[in-house]
Amino acid sequence: MKHIFTDIVQNISMENVPSSGGFTPNADGSVAQNWASYTAAEHARWDQLFARQTRLLRDHAADEFLDGLSLLRLSDGGIPNVERLSETLMQRTGWQIITVPRLIPDALFFDHLAHRRFVAGRFIRTADQMDYLQEPDIFHDIFGHVPMLAHPIFADYMQAYGQAGLRASGLNALPYLARLYWYSIEFGLILQNDDVKLYGAGLVSSFGECGFALRDPSPHRIKFDLQRVMRTDYRIDDFQQCYFVIDSFDDLLTETRQQDFAPLYRDLAQQPSLSPATLLPSDAAITRGTQDYARQQAGRAARDDQLSPHSL
């Protein structure tokens, strides 16, 4: 199964994304949610997705994520009203949510995060896209990301990430920051009570990858190290070959806040990127993966290529 988005982390490409659907974006890329325009079928689709994911996550998501679901009352039914949700979130951590009709340029994306504004797509996937769609929709963005923004330390981390993105302008550092976003904010794991739990939005909102990330023997699960993360490539079209596990959100915030990123970017530019299948001798591996899933997928792709008319 593929992920429900292509490459959200850089927000650079404007090709093959949903049109504005009649909404005229503001200068910051945002549009009004127009909550009253959602149909009963769209609200029902949210409820179906919500029920399916919460059944999976009850024992497998980080405590802070589950607390955020409850605090923000995302179980009340139907697509959340972003204006009301922002009021609760603002009181809790000073964040608000803005809706956009499509991906926005990276400069706007970082600026919103740096000023504690979370960007969410306003559309919801169609009935035939319940397991896969190219762009992040309102379910991925609100269900996947926003509960963690109710946690003060993670909320500060998201702002610090946005500030790092603004400082990275002109340093050719976006690929490194994209990897950090991918392996923490989207596909991060955390060790809690001697068990590995999910907190990344791409995991908690994915029906297929929740169990794979936690229980499948194929992927590596490696203790988080900032430089190691920023050297590591990732998959945008399939389950991950490795995941990085933090000890706590305090550690995640401290490690990124105390890092002088400019010399780190220079060091990274002198080192080769690492395949996500790589396990270094210096890695603190919680689980040494078999990589069987990746090999099976590669074998299927090779057989498909052999059968393709273009190969004849």
The catalytic position among 3, 60, 145, 151 is 145
> Is the distance from CB of 82 to CB of 120 less than 8 angstroms?
yes
Burial class (CB in 10 A: 0-12, 13-18, 19+), 193: exposed
With contact defined as beta carbons under 8 Å apart, do 51 and 133 qualify? no
CA–CA distance, 218 with 13 (Å, rounded to integer): 31
Tell me, yes or no, if 151 is annotated catalytic: no
Reply yes or no on whether 248 is catalytic: no
Q: Of residues 42, 135, 186, 209, which has the active-site annotation?
A: 186
Tokens of 151: 């946690």
Contact of 297 with 243, CB cutoff 8 Å: no
Active-site residue, 145 included: yes
| Secondary structure letter of residue 197 according to DSSP | E
> Quick one: tokens of 210?
């929740």
Residue with tokens 């996550």: 57
CA angle 39-146-180, nearest 5°? 125
Check 30, 86, 184, 205 and give the catalytic one. 205
Of 3, 60, 140, 151, catalytic: 140
Helix (H) / strand (E) containing 171: none
Q: Is 140 tagged catalytic?
A: yes
- Catalytically annotated residues: 140, 145, 186, 205
